[in-house]
Amino acid sequence: MKKQIIAAIVLGALVAFSPATQAQEKKGKGPSVEEQIKQLTELLVLTAEQKPKIEALVKEQGEKMRAIFADQNTPQEDRRKKMTELRTELSGKIKAVLTKEQGEKYDKFIAEAAAKRKKQ
């Protein structure tokens, strides 16, 4: 009886701490697409005309980022480079929708976010 209980505990621990279980529970770094949109809307005080355009851009980028992250066949350095290129591309597209003042706020926000990423 004692051996069965110990075996069950060991088996449970193996399943609970297996890489597959941890991968399923792990959430991506950074804010979700919805959080990004909310953050940009509040920070930049987007107009009713700007908000849907920004939402579409951020959602599109989120899908592309997930696809890159999911591609485990590509070396990590290449994936990181692609993600950096996507962020740069998104910044340009977003700034095209913004006013000059909003663009300046956005540039400052992006610089702060990049500094945070480098610290991690």
Q: Could you write out the DSSP letters of every residue in 73-116?
A: TS-HHHHHHHHHHHHHHHHHHHHHHS-HHHHHHHHHHHHHHHHH
50 in a structural domain: yes
Can you give the pLDDT at residue 27?
54
34 in a structural domain: yes
| pTM beyond 0.75, yes or no | no
Domain limits for position 53: 30-119
20 in a structural domain: no
19 in a structural domain: no
Can you give the pLDDT at residue 2?
57
4 in a structural domain: no
72 in a structural domain: yes
Can you give the pLDDT at residue 105?
94
10 in a structural domain: no
pLDDT in tens, 26-78: 456 678 888 988 999 999 999 999 999 999 999 999 999 999 989 889 998 99
**From CA 94, how far away is CA 54, in angstroms rounded?**
6
User: What is the tally of structural domains in the chain?
Assistant: 1
13 in a structural domain: no
Can you give the pLDDT at residue 24?
44
